[in-house]
Amino acid sequence: MKLLLSLISTGNLNNFDVGPLQQNCTRKNIINVDRLFNTKIFHYGDVQTYYSDIEMWYTLLPKSKVPFLSINAIDDPIALSSDNSRRRITNAVGAANNVMSIFTQTGGHLGWVGQAKGATGWDDDMVLQYIAALIDIRKTNKVEDLL
C-alpha cells in the first residue's frame, strides 16, 4: 500500500481509482490486481497483452549461461499456470542446456513449507540437492554431465 500511495502522491497515478484495487487485492488470484493496477501503471490496454509481455522471459531461457532451476505449482493462485505457459516453459527448457523446470500438482504459492515449525520444505530440499549436484559437477569437471 505504501508503494501505491507513493505513486499517487508523486503524480504517477493521476486519476487512478484505488477503490476497485483495494476490494480485489484479497481475491484468490492476482488477475484482478494485474487487470486493475499493473496494466494501468505499465500502460497496457488489457491483461492478456501484459501477460504476453511478461512471459517473454521464456525466450531468454535457451540463452542462459548459468544453471537455473524453476519450481512451479500448478495450483498456484498467484503465479497462474496455464497449459500454454507450461508448454512454453517446457519448450524453452528443452532448448536450453543450463535450465531445469519442475512442475508439481500442488504447492500453491510458496506452499511447500515444512510440516513442523522451522522445518525445511520440499522445495528447500530440492534446491539444496540441485546446488550440491552443481558443486559436485564443478569439482569433478564433469560439465558434460549437464549436457
Cα atoms found within 13 Å of the Cα of residue 17, Cβ hemisphere only: 6
CA distance 93 to 91: 5
CB environment 12-32: b (16+ within 10 A), e (fewer): ebeeeebeebeeeeeeeebeb
Residue 14 has pLDDT above 80, yes or no: no
User: What is the rounded average pLDDT for all residues in the chain?
Assistant: 77
> pLDDT digit string (tens) for 83-138?
877 887 888 888 888 888 888 888 777 766 667 777 777 888 889 999 998 888 88
pLDDT for 17: 63
Query: Between residues 1 and 128, which one has the greater pLDDT?
Result: 128
pLDDT for 139: 85
Amino acid at 131: I
pLDDT for 123: 84
| Residue 93 CB neighbours (<10 A) | 19
pLDDT for 144: 63
> pLDDT digit string (tens) for 54-73?
877 777 878 888 888 888 88
Residue 145 has pLDDT above 60, yes or no: no
Can you give the pTM of this predicted structure?
Answer: 0.60
